Structure 1
Amino acid sequence: MSKFKIPVQTVHSGILQENAVMLGDKSMKKLKIPAHGTIQLTFGSFRQEVTVIPVPKSDILRVSEGLARRLGLRQRLALNVSYSSGSRTLRLGPIIGVLVSRDHPDQPDRLFGPITMFCRELTNACHAQGAYVYFFTPEALESHSTSIQGWVYDEGWRKLSLPIADVINNRLTTRKVENKPSVQHFLADVKSRYGTHFFNEKFLDKTEVFEALAQDATLQRYLPESHALKGFAILKKMCGTYNSVFLKPVRGSLGKGILRISKDESGGYRLLSTTPMGTRKQTYSSLAKLFQSVAPKMKTTRYQIQQGLPLMEVGKRPVDFRALVQKNGTGKWGVTSIVARTAGSNHFVSNLARGGTLSTAREAITKSSLPSGVKENSQVLLPRAALAIARGVETYIPAHFGELGIDLALDQSGRIWLLEVNSKPSKNDNTPLNDQKIRPSVKQMILYCRYLAGL
């Protein structure tokens, strides 16, 4: 089956009827489309029988204004095209839908809040790859609908009625919204009716990830000892085994709500907690008294208790690593990037939201106090660990993921540990938009969408 990119142009409805398209004879030969026959034109969920009129010395697909409106095409653009002679189907696209939490129509420059520039970048990248992208919110969802109200960028944001996408990327930022019946019903409906692919289907929680990966003997070496915090007994056992332990909200992100417990010199216990202003320190004469202060939090927040690790440091500040692991154009996992995150001066977590700073993994490892032989080895082993963990998540957790943010750490001897896996890696505007430069992570995402859609 031949596939290539073709310019699509809208012509006046008086020149061309809605049930006909004009196609250059060169393209017709390449695609092996019979002249003047009827075929089915598809674009996402859109389907229509059309007659193909060959045009000599042209490589353009022309459609009428009325058909373009139903397709959701407003401007001249190039789309991938493929033809299946068995089903007599001419496919355009793919259409990629991005499900986002909210829009702000009164703020066109920040329509989708901090991910607006990512959405622009994704639009530019789709134009370059012959794909079509739109953005929609849960408010736009209706079950059993053949179209959806979505935002497209064309010299400004505009809202159009659009076909259901071939592939949907879930960028919802809260579990509450993701678990709404309207969201779940819509996704089940479009999967069954149109074969829509939906990736990054759900949030992961820390207990789920560690319990799933522990089933794989080859991944156990990366897992710090970790349990659901059910009561005082497990806290006492972990604090008796390790110099420090971390209590992490099972469903937390951005370093919020993390607690660090360690013994102090007097025989008591020190509790450190993250706040926007820095680290809050409290001391308790006994572990039982410390537990009494934490217990009320456990009524509303589930915690994972995890072995504390003596992390690699740069300038006496702990460092961890965020690996972005993505599916590629052949459906295989690959490591797109690994960055080092160094904790801020008043923090014990490295998240950027808590004052952490970014650098390349190589730069941080080179500046660290790791032994020199370990430094070289670590740069090879970190991406290997990230890939193995991504494959483990896919194997042991029943959901479809196309990209994962995998947080890793090196301890002071160079051993690699998994800290957590994030199924919604950040797309916030922390990099300047350059219309000429599209990040590899954005290109990779579109290649995977094209692979899923077969376009």
Structure 2
Amino acid sequence: MLKTKVAVQVISTGILPDDVLMLGEKHLKQWKIPQDQSIVLKFGSFRQQIKVVPVKRSDGIRISQTLAKRLGIHAGAALRLHYRPSALTLSIGPLIGVLISRDVPDSSDKPFGSITLFCKELVDACQNQGAYVYFFTPNQIGSTVSSIQAWVYAAGWHRMTMPIADVINNRLTSRKLENKPSVQHFLREVKSRYQTQVFNEKFLDKSEVFDALRNDASLHRYLPESHLLRNYAMLKAMCSRHATIFLKPVRGSLGKGIIRISRAEPGAYQAMYTTPLGTKKQHFSSLLKLFSSISGKMKTARYQIQQGLQLIDIQKRPVDFRALVQKNATGSWGVTSIVARTAGSQHFVSNLARGGTLSKVKEAVSKSNLPLSAKQNAYPKLQKAAIDIATGIDTNIPAHFGELGIDLALDTNGRVWLLEVNSKPSKNDNTPLNNEQKIRPSVRLMIQYSRFLTGF
């Protein structure tokens, strides 16, 4: 399929009719676009009958102000074109929608708070690649799904009525927002009515991930023993098999609510809790007493019980790894970045929100207590595990993902283990450490994958 990137020029409505699009003559000839009949102009969910007029010595497209407003396109935008003769349809795009949690309409310079810079980075990357992006929140979803009130960037942030996008990247950071009936209805309708592709369409629960990956025998080597904690008998059985176990909220994030349980003197146990100020320790004379003390928490949250691992450490501070895996321009999984995360001195989890620090994998591995013979292969082993696990998620969980944050660990024998998978990876935890580039590889890849999904 022929395709190209062109600049959009907006002409006064009195000069150019709303149903006429002017296009460089060479593109017209190259694609054999008819000049003497109406064809369909498509932009996301927008459709309109137009006639195409050739322009000599021009590489761009020209449209009227009225048509530009209906499309939500500003002058100077760069878009890709492709023409389908069988459907007499000229498509421009891709049009990408990013669903975010909240906006601050009164703050014109930072309408999306801390992620405003990330949003502007997406705008710049789209301009480079010939795509068009807008941002919207659950509050902007109305009763109709024919268009959406959204934010676009054109020499500043503006609210505009936009067509439904070809691709929607769900970047909601709250399960409560994602589960709103209006959000779920909107996503179902746009997929069905406009064949909109929605990726990262749902949060993942820890139990869901481990249960799904257990279906694939080739992934068993990465999976610590892990179950949904149901009762005291399960806790007792796990503690009899493993010197240390972890209890993790099934829907937790940022290291919140994790409990580390280990044997102390015979019959006694120690529980360590994550708190914002550091680790809180409690001793129990029996496992039953420990279970009684945590059973209240189990009434308000489900917990995953997981085998404790002998992780590599740097001066007694555990180290784990966050891999960002993304689908690329061919729709295949690739590793965009892997960073090492070392726990803070008062914590046993490595999350940045709990005092953890980032470093390059090579640097962390070289300083760690991993045997010398295993240090050289550490990065390729982490890389392979991340791709294997992402592929396993795709195969065994019926949802569409385009990027995943995969938390991995190395034990002191050099074996790779899966800790958890995050379907809404934060733009802080997985940022590559060489931050000189204006547009990060992770942002470029998101647009390349959107182009793959839409044929642009």
- For the aligned pair, the TM-score class normalised by the smaller chain equals over 0.9
The equivalent residue for 1:439 is: 440
1:436 Cα deviation after fit: 6.0
* Cross-structure match for 1:302: 302
Give the TM-score, by structure 2 length: 0.97
Q: Distance in 2 between matches of 1:184 and 1:433?
A: 38
Partner amino acid, structure 1, of 2:411 = D
Q: 1:111-260 residue pairs with structure 2 within 5 A?
A: 111-260=111-260
Q: Which residue matches 2:2? A: 2
Kept in 1, the 8 Å contact 2:225–2:306? The answer is: yes
Does the CA-based 8 Å contact 1:94-1:166 persist in structure 2? yes
> Partner of 1:347 in structure 2?
347
How far 1:29 sits from its partner (Å)? 1.6
Is residue 273 from structure 1 mapped to residue 273 from structure 2 by the alignment? Answer: yes
Quote the offset at 1:143 in angstroms.
4.5
1:399 CA drift (Å): 0.4
For residue 153 of structure 1, report the CA deviation from its aligned partner: 1.6
Tell me the distance in 1 between the aligned counterparts of 2:141 and 2:247: 37
| 2:44 aligned with 1:44 | yes
Bigger CA drift: 299-308 or 98-107? 98-107
Q: Deviations over 1:144-164 (max 9, x none)?
A: 432110001222211000010
Distance in 2, matches of 1:212 and 1:142, equals: 35
Aligned to 1:368: 368
2:451 paired with 1:450: yes
Q: How does 1:420-431 map to 2 (within 5 A)?
A: 420-428=420-428
**Pair 1:315 & 2:312 matched:** no
The alpha-carbon deviation at position 267 of structure 1 amounts to 4.4
Q: Tell me the SS of whatever aligns to 2:329.
A: coil
Q: CA RMSD in A?
A: 1.6
**2:279 is aligned with what amino acid?**
T
What letter corresponds to residue 401 of structure 2 in structure 1?
F
> Is contact 1:6-1:79 (8 Å) kept?
yes
Instruction: Return 177-186 or 423-432, whichever deviates more.
Output: 423-432
Distance 1:318 1:22 in 2: 62
- TM-score, scaled to structure 1: 0.97
CA distance in 1, matches of 2:437, 2:288: 59
Amino acid paired to 1:245: I
Q: Give a deviation string over 1:342-378, Cα, whole Å, max 9, x none.
A: 0001000000010100011111112112112211122
Deviations 1:312-371 (A, max 9, x none): 111221000001111111111111111100000100000001010001111111211211
| Other structure's SS at 2:87 match | coil
Letter in 2 for 1:186: F
Which secondary structure state, in structure 1, belongs to the residue aligned with residue 52 of structure 2?
strand
SS at match of 1:151: strand
Unaligned runs of at least 5 residues, structure 1? none
Stretches of structure 2 that go unaligned for 5 or more consecutive residues are: none
CA distance in 2, matches of 1:435, 1:279: 35
CA distance in 1, matches of 2:53, 2:452: 30
> How many angstroms apart in 2 are the aligned matches of 1:308 and 1:426?
25
Instruction: Kindly indicate whether the alpha-carbon contact (under 8 Å) linking 1:28 and 1:54 is maintained by their aligned counterparts in 2.
Output: yes
User: What's 1:17 paired with?
Assistant: 17
Question: How much has 1:233 moved relative to structure 2?
Answer: 0.6
Deviation readout 1:235-281 (Å, 9 max, x if unpaired): 11111111110000000011000000111246421111111111111
Cα offset, 1:287, TM superposition: 0.9
Give the Å deviation of 1:188: 1.0
In structure 2, C-alpha distance between the alignment counterparts of 1:339 and 1:224, rounded to whole Å: 21
> Letter of the aligned partner of 1:344 in structure 2?
G
Tell me the CA shift for residue 6 of structure 1: 0.6
Is contact 1:115–1:429 with CA below 8 Å preserved after alignment?
Answer: no
Q: How far off is 1:433 after superposition?
A: 12
CA spacing shift, 1:433–1:112, aligned 2, 3 Å:
farther
Q: Distance in 2 between matches of 1:317 and 1:358?
A: 13
Q: CA deviation at 1:429?
A: 9.4
1:7 counterpart letter in structure 2? A
* Residues 435 and 362 of structure 1, relative CA distance in 2, 3 Å threshold: closer
Give the drift of 1:427.
Answer: 2.0
1:5 shift after superposition: 0.2
Aligned to 1:28: 28
Deviations 1:151-192 (A, max 9, x none): 012222110000100000001111111111111111111111
Residue aligned with 1:110, SS = coil
Q: Does 1:325 align with 2:325?
A: yes
CA distance in 2, matches of 1:15, 1:435: 45
Length, aligned pairs only: 455
Q: Which amino acid aligns with 1:391?
A: T
Check the 8 A contact 1:116/1:429 in 2, yes or no: no
Deviates more, 1:24-33 or 1:357-366: 24-33
| Structure 2 match to 1:102 | 102
The Cα shift of 1:74 comes to 2.1
Corresponding letter in the other structure for 2:455: G
Partners of 1:447 and 1:435 in 2: how far apart?
A: 21
Any idea what SS the aligned residue of 2:210 has? helix
Percent same amino acid at aligned positions? 63
The Cα of 1:35 is off from its aligned counterpart by 2.4
* Residue type at the aligned position of 1:90: L
In 1, Cα distance between equivalents of 2:144 and 2:272: 51
Q: Structure 2 CA distance, aligned partners of 1:37 and 1:315?
A: 74
User: Is the Cα contact below 8 Å between 2:323 and 2:430 reproduced in 1?
Assistant: no
Q: Which moved more, 1:64-73 or 1:169-178?
A: 169-178
Q: Check conservation: 2:324, 2:430, Cα contact below 8 A.
A: no
How does 1:29-108 map onto structure 2 within 5 Å?
A: 29-108=29-108
- SS in structure 2 of the partner of residue 134 of structure 1: strand
1:383-416, Cα deviation, whole Å (9 max, x unpaired): 1011000000011110000111000000011111
Partner of 1:386: 386
